[in-house]
Amino acid sequence: MEDEASSTFISFTKSPLLIDEVSDSNFSDYAIPDAKRMRLDHDLNDVATVEKFKGVVPQQNGRWGAQIYANHQRIWLGTFKSEKDAAMAYDSAAIKLRTRDSHRNFPWTRLSIEEPNFQSKFSIDAVLSMIKDGSYSSKFSAYLRTKSQICDSNIQNLQTIENGDRDGHFSCSHLFQKELTPSDVGKLNRLVIPKKYAVKHFPYISESAEENSDDIEIVFYDTSMKTWKFRYCYWRSSQSFVFTRGWNRFVKEKKLKANDIITFYTYESCGRDKNGGTLIFIDVIYKKPEDDRSESSCLAAERESIKNEQLQRELGLDREDCPIDLVAVSIVALSPSPRNIAIFYKMSTTGAYYLPMCTLRNSKLSSAKLRNVYNVSSLKHFQLNSITLSSTRTGKLATSAMAGSNEHQPVSGLPIDLKGKRAFIAGVADDNGYGWAIAKSLAAAGAEIIVGTWVRALNIFETNLQRGKFDKSRSLQDGSLMEFAKIYPLDVDFDNLEDVPENIKTKKQYAVCKNWTVQEVAESVKKDFGTIDILVHSLANGPEVSKPLLETSRKGYLAAFSASSYSYISLLKHFAPIMNPGGSSISLTYIASKRIIPGYGGGMSSAKAALESDLRVLAFEVGRKNKVRVNAISAGPLRSRASKAVEYIDSMIDYSLANAPLQKPLSAEEVGNAAAFLASPLASAITGSVICVDNGLNTMGVGVDSPTLKGLYLLNPN
């Protein structure tokens, strides 16, 4: 969810605002119209008995339906448990669809008056969708909590202490908020910022500049005044604005999960302080999976049971400074006195934050202990001999989002856990080949996926990906979508730029791309990600594959070797140095390396045989030098974009189905799962091997579908 809010002016001379005490003059530019019919005495909880609500329709099952007419069309809003709920749904829809003075079932209250501001952040379809699916109430409540939090007195009092100016004013602007996806908090170590917000709220970055060359660092503050620095840049490969360096630490320390919401605000000084500037704040609204309700991080501590006596004993606060119902604590600053510390506390679970200066008598109290006892999301470590604060990472760290409880877990069997691993897959250009299947299986096991796509296929691949044409095949077992951390242009026919002929450099597809040779891509991956753990070689090309070997030209034969065999040597040469010890490299081969497969010509069978021979040598050399395993999968025939070049591919598939010991279609997923196994620690002692994944076809010496074997009893065991 991504939405944009309007600016709000906050006066720091006023009392802190509570959620249920929203000041109309401060928070809304929406005039309260006179209610046409009073249905409430005081609040929504005091509903007067009425005979009929507008837009409410009784249902035969005892429930109540809600509907509204707009633009001469009937819009159904859903069914609800009570007549009151249905009537309130009508009122909410009327705000978006009708004029201010339109009929309401209930009069405006100090809470409902905020609904127009809340709805202004969404489209009509989005508001109606929330009403229909029942999420409107929880999201509106989350909005009120967040808004109250912004207007909290923590920033007010902190600024007052620092500036000594109790008449200062701040302009608060809620920039936008974004619901986090699994990839935002999982494997990819980056946050995608929607373009419409990036260009509006963040510093300008050229979309045409060289990859990552125009990146900057942006500093944010959280609600405890802790600073967070994010690297902000534009990725041309995925055409997106992203936060990279620094984001992963934020995810870990804030314990973010998918569907949590991050919000961005600015606080700008507009009072007498001429030196005042603009601070950018980032906060989190956590989503509770058990009841599907959201809660702000700043208010999450309210829900925890805090032992007040323990708090007073640990802090050693003076009795007059310590509230009786202290339920949340956050240390943010030290006063000039080395024994005084500024603490946010709450008088009750519904109160606002206050910032007194409390005398600290127990100098042994640690921020880690405070964090553990009082569920404070972020603390500043303090030194009793200093008046300044330094950032600390003390306290119990959250488990990496990539190691989330249920994200990308295998369904059954011995678990394959690749969380925290990073894979580069060369040869993904569509969603129906083995490269895609391997990427999907690795992603399902928790690995971060980077791909290299043939330069000539890059544009159409990225276009289809962005248009959602691959969304169905990207779906993982946990309901999330497989994400690519980055897509690099790649042509394995060229090791470095010096190898590229001028006529290739000037071709349109190549001219618009940069850094697409094997060496350049490896260097780019090292720059962007540092290291990888898994390398997959899932590509081959034989320009004369449909020709018999005797009719294959020298050029065609050598081209098949270059793209299908030597390309693996080149990949390992340049990628093995950036692979972590214990890593795994996998290539794809075919039974034609050992058996005669008519129709698989142009030197491709020879190239596959060379690949398998090279594999064994590479396993030794790379194993000794880089401690990386090297294996291959001999996969059965599959209908894919690449296999269309083989004239008899359908016949090969039919032959395999008829003659393999396991008479079933071979799926790409089965090959992907085998690759996930080889990439995992479960295969830590396997290297230099070719694993056949072809339903056992490689074991057969004769074709059992031959008419000469028609009477063989094993052909019809039943």
For the stretch 441-450, what's the b/e string if a residue is b when 16 or more beta carbons lie within 10 angstroms of its beta carbon? bbbbbbbbbb
CATH label, 417-708, candidates 3.40.50.720, 3.40.50.2300, 3.40.640.10, 3.30.70.270: 3.40.50.720
Relative to beta strand 64-70, strand 191-193 is unpaired
Q: Is the Cα torsion angle 466, 469, 475, 479 positive or negative in sign?
A: positive
Relative to beta strand 73-80, strand 169-179 is unpaired
Helix (H) or strand (E) segment spanning residue 87: helix 83-97
Query: Would you call 590 helix, strand, or coil by DSSP?
Result: coil
Beta-strand runs (E) in 347-472: 353-354, 357-359, 422-426, 448-454
Q: Is the Cα torsion angle 648, 649, 654, 655 positive or negative in sign?
A: positive
pLDDT of 689: 95
**Residue 197 annotated among the catalytic residues of the structure:** no
Other CB atoms within 10 Å distance of the CB of residue 199: 14
* Residue 490, CA distances (Å) to 283, 453, 557, 568, 572 in order: 39, 5, 22, 13, 15
pLDDT of 684: 92
Q: Which residues contact 119 (CB under 8 A, 6 or more apart)?
A: 92, 95, 96, 127
Question: Cα separation of 154 and 173, whole Å?
Answer: 16
Other CB atoms within 10 Å distance of the CB of residue 204: 9
Per the CB < 8 A criterion, the answer to whether 282 and 150 are in contact is no
Determine the Cα angle at 437 with ends 703 and 454, to 5°. Answer: 105
pLDDT of 340: 38
Question: Cα separation of 338 and 385, whole Å?
Answer: 6
Catalytic annotation, pick one of 136, 590, 655, 713: 590
Domain ranges of the chain: 17-136, 149-294, 417-708
Per the CB < 8 A criterion, the answer to whether 288 and 311 are in contact is no
Query: Would you call 655 helix, strand, or coil by DSSP?
Result: helix
Query: What's the predicted TM-score (pTM) here?
Result: 0.47
Residue closest to 537 by CA, chosen among 611, 483, 473: 611
Give domain 149-294's CATH superfamily: DNA-binding pseudobarrel domain (2.40.330.10)
Question: Cα separation of 580 and 530, whole Å?
Answer: 10
Backbone angles phi, psi at 520, to 5 degrees: -65, -40
**Residue 374 annotated among the catalytic residues of the structure:** no
Q: Quote the tokens at residue 150.
A: 């912004």
Residue closest to 539 by CA, chosen among 506, 510, 564, 521: 564
Determine the Cα angle at 580 with ends 683 and 618, to 5°. Answer: 65
* Residue 632, CA distances (Å) to 541, 597, 622, 686 in order: 17, 19, 14, 11
CATH label, 17-136, candidates 3.30.730.10, 3.40.50.1110, 3.40.50.261, 3.10.20.30: 3.30.730.10
DSSP lists the bridge partners of residue 342 as 333, 357
Residue closest to 236 by CA, chosen among 461, 423, 527, 462: 462
State pLDDT tens for residues 378-396. 333 333 333 233 333 333 3
Distance between first and last Cα of the chain = 57
Determine the Cα angle at 685 with ends 682 and 687, to 5°. Answer: 110
Q: Which residues contact 289 (CB under 8 A, 6 or more apart)?
A: none
Report CA Rg, the chain: 32
Helix axis angle, 308-315 relative to 367-374, nearest 10°?
170
Q: Which residues of the chain fall below pLDDT 70?
A: 1-51, 99-101, 146-172, 187-188, 208-214, 237, 268-277, 288-414, 639-649, 706-718
Catalytic annotation, pick one of 232, 374, 600, 655: 600
Relative to beta strand 216-221, strand 56-58 is unpaired
Dihedral angle of Cα 370, 373, 376, 377, to the nearest 10 degrees:
100
